[in-house]
Amino acid sequence: MGCGTSSSMKDKKSEKALKAALVIQNWYRGHSAQLKTRQRYALTIFQSIEYADEQGQLELSNFFSFMLENYTRLLEEDSELVTHLFDSNIQDKDRQDYWVLIDVPDSYCGPRLQFPLTFTDIDLLIEAFKQQQILHAYYVLEVLFETKKLLQQMPNFTHIKTSPSKEITICGDLHGKLDDLFLIYYKNGLPSVSNPYVFNGDFVDRGKNSMEILMILFVSFLVYPNDLHLNRGNHEDFMMNMRYGFTNEVLHKYKLHGKKILQVLEDIYTWLPIGTIIDNEILVIHGGISESTDLNLLHRIERNKLKSVLMPPIPIDGDHATEKGNKVGTTITARGIRTNGSLSEQLTKHEWEQVIDILWSDPRGKRGCYPNTGRGGGCYFGPDITSKILNKYQLKMLIRSHECKPEGYEICHDGKVITVFSASNYYEEGSNRGAYIRVSSGTPPRFFQYQVTRATCLRPLYQRMNAVESRAIRMLKERMISQKTDLIRVFQLQDSSKSGKLSVGQWAFSMENILGLNLPWRSLSSHLVTTDKDGNIDYMSSFQDIHIQKPVKEVQSTLIETVYRYRSDLQIIFNVIDSNHSGLISMEEFRSIWKLFKSHYRVCVDDSQLDELTERMDLNKDGSIDFNEFLKAFYVVHKFDKLSKSDTKVA
């Protein structure tokens, strides 16, 4: 009898333990699902803002065409601007022009490369960069010139073969994330004859170590030109570099020779191959395809004529244009500009569009091919377009990059399209994994995921997700405050009773109408506004904890918001015009550019307000302003940035 009681007790304990385990399991699954949902929303915000910025960057291409058509005085006085924008055939300069005055002092303790380069130099460079050493400009320029010389011998598409015993590794965007490249090389091995790689573009921008990544990749390419393959991405473009950080990185690290390094890099970008074809079966390109993608044409184009995908070919209408010669040999027509015949050195519009498509396009589940409204360039292509193009050229698979994915890779279009993205923590620490792919003849692709972890590895998952979510909401609020006036106007139109409140539906409609980010506003409302007990939104609470700092208090908010919203575009425009990198622009030139900018972007701002603002910013009254400092004066202040006590408020 005692034994029976003991057995019954054990059964009850086991039953309780099982129930407890199921409760814990269900809680954990629910908690994990909740964290995944929060991560998905945060990534959606990051990507929507990123693509909206890229859309703005592509709009700059239209502005530069508009500017050069209208700003004739600038062209007559500064032919270098026209050459800088449109002459894609940069003259090769004698190496002595660059190196004769560059001395490597005995005190330099960084890596010293020995040409011709060997495997040892790759290892030397990696170890030096792990110690945060800077490669001397002398060696940087030598690597760049040797790389250009080798790239000029490469075809537009690199054709390579694998075998069951020889895999090739494909890496996606790195975006200046040096630790990710270190981790890939550590896990997967350094490049070699038996360990080939394809790096599928976007090596630079956003991250802090784009130059180091380029140097490692270029040195690896010089050592193993048949086993390390480099494809051009949409960020291998000097115009993109101006907005997304690489230009500033180079000028900061190489204050003396940075401008020369950038000039050579501009030329190198044009010689990077635009794709790789593996085993005549797998097409590897950075972005994607369209219904009109012509691989035969893309094999034939003179890729070095494409200096920037953001500068479309200038149309010339010889029959209708009224031409006017000027003192610098520039011909200005009603529809374009010619500089000493340089237009013969540009791609045709059709060729340019073909390259845009393969660098900028994204796959989608919807059938067909339609404009990429998110990025503003390239297209969205459906599974039917993938099948059509692959079948046409007897290919089996498309491997592309260009999009951050939570797990580092994604498979779509019935397994025919794979996206691989190799920059982990792309938006924020913990935001996404990175991945690379290994492929070989006759076997399915193998995927390898990773995530660079430092301080974050000591923090619980929910804390890391809180940080990611907080950063996403912060960026979204900065977007909102940049269009505060427009948002309030639409809110008030919806608020017929003048109550200061809107339904969630009305608020969400207004937000999408003005910001155009295609976000789940209803779900995000709890993070952005306050809601009363009836579920109505106090729409002015959208701006209660954030404002744009005014450099001059008397200036109207509309002007402040406009300059803040377009500050990146304006900075690029002024930097392009500032051909000598002085950082200064005359008041007259500033006003002329602003008028063209205002006209092209349809900005409604009183010019007298801008005049007052620029005069205040001309601190030494010499008729010029430091435009970089001018634009830095417009910044967002978040309430919690200034809180030192719980009751501190933003005025």
Q: Is residue 247 classed as helix, strand or coil in its secondary structure?
A: helix
Active site (catalytic) residues: 235
Q: Which of 444, 460, 429, 363 is nearest to 396 (CA)?
A: 444
Instruction: Please report, as a single letter, which amino acid is at residue 216.
Output: I
Cα 125 to the center of its chain, rounded Å: 26
Q: Are strands 369-371 and 434-440 parallel, antiparallel or unpaired?
A: unpaired
Dihedral pair phi/psi, residue 598, rounded to 5°: -65, -40
CA atoms within 13 A of residue 27's CA, in its CB half-sphere: 6
Instruction: Please tell me the chain's helix, strand, coil percentages from 3-state DSSP, rounded to the nearest 5.
Output: 50, 15, 35
Joined together, the tokens standing for residue 168 give: 């090739």
Number of Cβ within 10 Å of residue 406's Cβ equals 15
Joined together, the tokens standing for residue 84 give: 């800088």
Number of Cβ within 10 Å of residue 165's Cβ equals 8
Output DSSP code: residue 324.
Answer: B
Q: Which of 64, 483, 76, 379 is nearest to 242 (CA)?
A: 64
- Under 8 Å between Cβ of 428 and 177: no
- Following DSSP, what letter does each residue of 282-321 receive, concatenated? EEE-SS---TT--HHHHHHS-GGG-S-TTSPPPP--TTT-
Q: Which of 487, 427, 417 is nearest to 177 (CA)?
A: 427
- Under 8 Å between Cβ of 481 and 515: no
CA distances from 143 to 111, 113, 268, 632 (A): 13, 9, 11, 35
Q: Helix 210-223 crosses helix 246-253 at what angle (to 10 degrees)?
A: 90
Judged on CB neighbours under 10 Å (0-12, 13-18, 19+), 256 is exposed
**Residue with the two structure tokens 């050195």:** 345
All residues at 6 or more sequence positions from 159 whose CB lies less than 8 Å from its CB, including other chains: 276, 277, 280
Output DSSP code: residue 397.
Answer: E
CA distances from 28 to 14, 41, 44, 465 (A): 21, 20, 24, 15
- Under 8 Å between Cβ of 169 and 436: yes
- Under 8 Å between Cβ of 220 and 228: yes
Per-residue H/E/C for 513-573 = HHHCCCCCHHHHHHHHCEECCCCCEEHHHHHCCEEECCCCCCCCHHHHHHHHHCHHHHHHH
Q: Is residue 579 classed as helix, strand or coil in its secondary structure?
A: coil
- Under 8 Å between Cβ of 60 and 573: yes
